[in-house]
Chains A and B, each alone.
Chain A
């Protein structure tokens, strides 16, 4: 059964399995911290902010996405708390009036036309459905970028949800809703 010949073979299988399941995920992603260690939880609790207070819709229906610096300086022109994260934010961004270069976990390819208005306003989906529990997190998880394709790890599986944000995941939900008409519905 277990002869001398099959040991290298099984060793190879084991090594490959270990490399593929353990080492590969670590190697394929490069980790990048967000510019500021922002705590959603503090802002939700203390400032009573809901998602749409900072991640706003504009008048023409487009989604403003990540807030610009002026949204933060509305309150944080002077330090409001005692954390070092806030202090470094004020020193590095508020004072020199520099926009933080946030990296978006959910950034889709250029050819995708995603309408937040259609999903939030018309379909009344909750933010957590696609974005997970980011809104109740105390820190921002590091942005893990795939070294080859350049896309975020969250596209494959957003923490706190049962799926990721690849095309197949979007199509699956659209199919369930009976809203699968044409490629150009979602592509531009």
Chain B
């Protein structure tokens, strides 16, 4: 039958009325609202059983003990281990987000492993009589470092170099009544947070700093000196030059310097950090016993530094920058390489370091994927042995630098960590602290297998404390002549921020102005640039793009650079810079 339009409309009207009496429209509204709650792209957190696992953080030598809250096997949250005799339950901001390290977008994921191995073999064969094969270890003192020394020792022309550090000397903050720091970031990334914070109330901190660093702002007394004049002040305090001469160079008043000298005399024991011109009071510096190693390892290349190598003598250079450690300026390294086709291989997780210069960049596993030990920190009066046991598996294709270099040098190695642990166990010294139950027991009461198990499940071995030693610390800024005269307007102060690259650090870098992000330069507001803008940072060695932060704690005429390796390559000692709008 032909339905008229009226009939159709009546039908539709009836349907509309009828449907109101059914659940359909009300359900559709509810369902649409529920559908909109499950917006695509918002991830759902994983579900699973919550476990607690323990490890030690290997982002720096503090090696703080870590309690990881894991869903299934995946760590989701890290915290310290309360009651730990060294780290006292503290973690620094970088350790708190350490479990994000494997997921940094810029992480190196693949590399020319076969080609690198072939190039190294070729380089070894081509080595002339005065040429060397060198391993540069940026985090010395580890068990892997011993493997490198043994590997280089197995080669007739192998050399092992590391940034100069005296592994056996440590400071005892608990014995100091005054700490005189020449630019050392005592309260911000220098030592072990747990040790520094526990000792803080016991000493008066005098910070000599060109800018109001975090340590300077928290110090009991901050003396603002001109950049790179710290050693001049030290010389005055050591009596080598007159206060008047120092006042000229540092910008301090003569009376201030005299008052400081008097305070040091009366405020003992004094611990001096960052200058080797002044002696610390006896008792504040200790010599640690060396963490035991298997006897046969002692047959290895000695630790030398870059300066000991002649120019144009290195044919093969292997750089282990797998753990965040120091960075040596590339120009200092480049001049040691032979002129014709040196082979430079770097083992790195980040493309920002030596991967920019090396012939081959091989990807490595990072904390918390990798098993390795952490050397003791500068403020640990006893030697320690702690293993950063892996919490997650590394992606496929990662290279283990220790075994790679050992193989390249023809050295056969076993489970070096286990061998080291066994050597420590044989010494029968010290105590073992177990994280799971918070108990300590003497090492001699433990069987080797139990010791190994505890080390891997969350524990640390603490040696007997070291003995007092000659009180000069040889690390720190040695007086270096400033670079050639330049008319660039800004003096550079380098701030070392733990290189991390973790996106969540935007909380403290970009979503607040709490910390200075790597690749940023802090300038006085009078500089005329906008906060957060991009600028060109120029030194005599080159240019780079940086971000600008305005900070009234930076005096005019000074640029505080939060250095990435790329920026460190541009900043020679005593360098000056220019920062202009880009």
Contacts and interface: CB of A to CB of B under 8 A. Distances in A.
> In their complex, do chains A and B touch, with some C-beta pair under 8 Å?
yes
Interface string B215-256: 000000000000000000000000000000000000000000
A125 interface: no
Nearest to A166: B30
Contacts of A25: 23
Contacts of A21: 22-23
A16 B17 contact: yes
Contacts of A183: none
A143 interface: no
A11 B14 CA distance: 7
Contacts of A8: 3, 6-8, 10-11, 14
A67 interface: no
Contacts of B11: 8-9, 11-12, 15
Contact of A16 (B10, B14, B28, B44): B14
Interface stretch (B32-40, B301-309, B322-330): B32-40
Given A8-B7, A12-B10, A60-B50, A20 B31 contact: no
Given A20-B24, A21-B22, A24-B22, A9 B14 contact: yes
B12 interface: yes
Given A12-B13, A16-B17, 18 more contacts: A5-B6, A5-B10, A8-B3, A8-B6, A8-B7, A8-B14, A11-B14, A12-B12, A12-B17, A13-B14, A14-B18, A20-B19, A110-B38, A146-B31, A146-B34, A148-B32, A148-B34, A149-B35
A17 B21 CA distance: 7
A175 interface: no
Contact of A64 (B15, B18, B24, B49): B49
Contacts of B37: 109, 111
B480 interface: no
A42 to B, nearest CB: 28
A72 interface: no
Interface residues of A, number: 30
A16 B35 contact: no
Contacts of B21: 16-17, 20
Interface of A: 5-6, 8-17, 19-21, 24-25, 28, 58, 60, 62, 64, 109-111, 146, 148-151
A19 B28 CA distance: 14
The size class of the interface chain B forms with chain A is 20 to 34
A149 B3 CA distance: 37
Contacts of B8: 8
A119 B21 CA distance: 37
B31 A148 contact: yes
Given A9-B11, A17-B18, A62 B50 contact: yes
Contact of B34 (A13, A62, A149): A149
A149 B21 CA distance: 22
Nearest to A10: B14
A13 B17 contact: yes
A12 B22 CA distance: 13
23 contacts: A5-B10, A6-B10, A8-B6, A8-B11, A9-B10, A9-B13, A9-B17, A12-B10, A12-B12, A12-B13, A12-B15, A12-B17, A14-B14, A15-B14, A16-B14, A16-B17, A19-B24, A109-B34, A111-B37, A146-B31, A148-B34, A149-B30, A150-B35
